[in-house]
Amino acid sequence: MAEFTLELNDDQKQVKEWLHGFAADVIRPAAAEWDEREETPWPVIQEAAKVGIYSLDFYAQQFFDPTGLGIPMAMEELFWGDAGIALSIVGTGLAAVGVLANGTEEQIGTWIPQMYGDADDVKVAAFCSSEPDAGSDVASMRTRAFYDEAKDEWVLNGTKTWATNGGIANVHVVVAVVDPDIGSKGHASFIVPPDTPGLSQGQKFKKHGIRASHTAEVVLEDVRVPGHCLLGGKEKLDERLARARERAKAGGERVKNAAMATFEASRPAVGAMAVGTARAAYEVALDYAKTRSQFGRPIIDNQGIAFQLADMRTRIDAARLLVWRASWMATTGKPFTSAEGSMSKLYASETARDVTAQAIQILGGNGFTREYPVERMHRDAAIYTIFEGTSEIQRLVIARTLSGMPIR
């Protein structure tokens, strides 16, 4: 039996140090500027592409780490640098994963390279799922896809919202309803190629935090895409829809649980992002408390400050362990019998929110100004309790899993 260890291996340590160096030397010095500009940090993305961080190969290597720790380790280090810029770097990965999970080999080889471009001409991609009236309630999705058999084209109509890179992406991956009678199992994903008529950017959101990440609505008006842009192909879709209809007749709850398991597996990555932001704020607060003197001694000499820092570090380490456990379980195929994915995302996101607020308090008036980064980190941290399922949704998932009851 293999010896139990929480220590990273040599390869993981090297990757971690490399990412930390990029975050410290490239991301963090640019963070305040792009937060103020509220624009996509194209020069930083290009630098990430030059060194190999902004690429499918890099994320594939981390994803296939047999310990499951590659992705959470990478997310923590990049988001330690800055959440807004890091999300601009990793946002394309959401669309790429959608293609990898559902696409054919030909679709993967055709579209993913177009999502990233190259170091001389970087591109981004957008994953479009959320809608104005269907956030956590995926069954209420209204975007429709109709198959025009005569032309072998799919026609998409609807509005997507909260789309990272929405409207500025080279490639959009759009989730749409093809059969409204079977809930989320009646959804399918489509590639919308560059410059497709009918797709336009709607409102660009001016956000409280993660301002360097472009977030916008995507409007689809009679968007026609070739039949081969249906991820997985029509034959596979027809087979899946037929199975889902039979399952729905036998008992819809089983279908719902299968969809829930998919979301569970992706949530630890968001938890790792939150851990990175929390750790960054804690380190700023610790350094400040050691060097800031009042009444003739460093403020960390006061128990009121020292105990806060002790609690902050304890929560960060606990959050990381929950994230690592869930990531390991997902990679090794262990079932989330207690909604461990949601647990990790819930605890880490609320830790980031609370730790960044405590960091502001420790810095006092300085923490409330933009001269120090904890103000920005606190604004950024607010997103973690909202996207990829709010804290309330995570608690609902956990409670339902533990109890087996349809808690509402």
Decide: 229 and 193 in contact? Cβ < 8 Å. yes
Active site residue 36: no
258 band by pLDDT with thresholds 50, 70 and 90: very low
pLDDT of residue 136: 63
Rounded to an integer, what distance in angstroms lies between the CA atom of residue 12 and that of residue 69? 8
- Residue 225, classified by CB atoms within 10 Å of its CB into exposed (0-12), middle (13-18) or buried (19+), is buried
pLDDT of residue 260: 45
Q: What is the pLDDT of residues 261-277, one digit of tens each?
A: 445 567 999 999 999 99
Amino acid, single-letter form, for residue 401:
T
Rounded to an integer, what distance in angstroms lies between the CA atom of residue 72 and that of residue 8? 12
Q: What is the pLDDT of residues 41-91, one digit of tens each?
A: 999 999 999 999 999 899 989 989 999 999 999 999 999 999 999 999 999
7, 39, 388, 392: the catalytic one is: 388
Rounded to an integer, what distance in angstroms lies between the CA atom of residue 272 and that of residue 212? 19
135 band by pLDDT with thresholds 50, 70 and 90: low
- Residue 238, classified by CB atoms within 10 Å of its CB into exposed (0-12), middle (13-18) or buried (19+), is exposed
Q: What is the pLDDT of residues 301-326, one digit of tens each?
A: 999 999 999 999 999 999 999 999 99
H-helix segments, 215-251:
234-250
Please list the residues that pair with 126 across neighbouring strands.
172
Q: What is the pLDDT of residues 143-193, one digit of tens each?
A: 999 999 999 999 999 999 999 999 999 999 999 999 998 887 899 999 999
| pTM for the structure as a whole | 0.93
138 band by pLDDT with thresholds 50, 70 and 90: low
Rounded to an integer, what distance in angstroms lies between the CA atom of residue 36 and that of residue 252? 47
259 band by pLDDT with thresholds 50, 70 and 90: very low
Q: Tell me the backbone φ, ψ of residue 82, rounded to 5 degrees.
A: -175, 135
Q: What is the pLDDT of residues 318-376, one digit of tens each?
A: 999 999 999 999 999 999 999 999 999 999 999 999 999 999 999 999 999 999 999 99
Q: Which residues of 79-92 are buried (b: 16+ CB within 10 A; e: fewer)?
A: bbbbbbbbbbbbbb
Cα–chain-centroid distance for residue 349? 12
Residues contacting 120, CB < 8 A, separation 6+: none
Amino acid, single-letter form, for residue 271:
G
Cα–chain-centroid distance for residue 233? 26
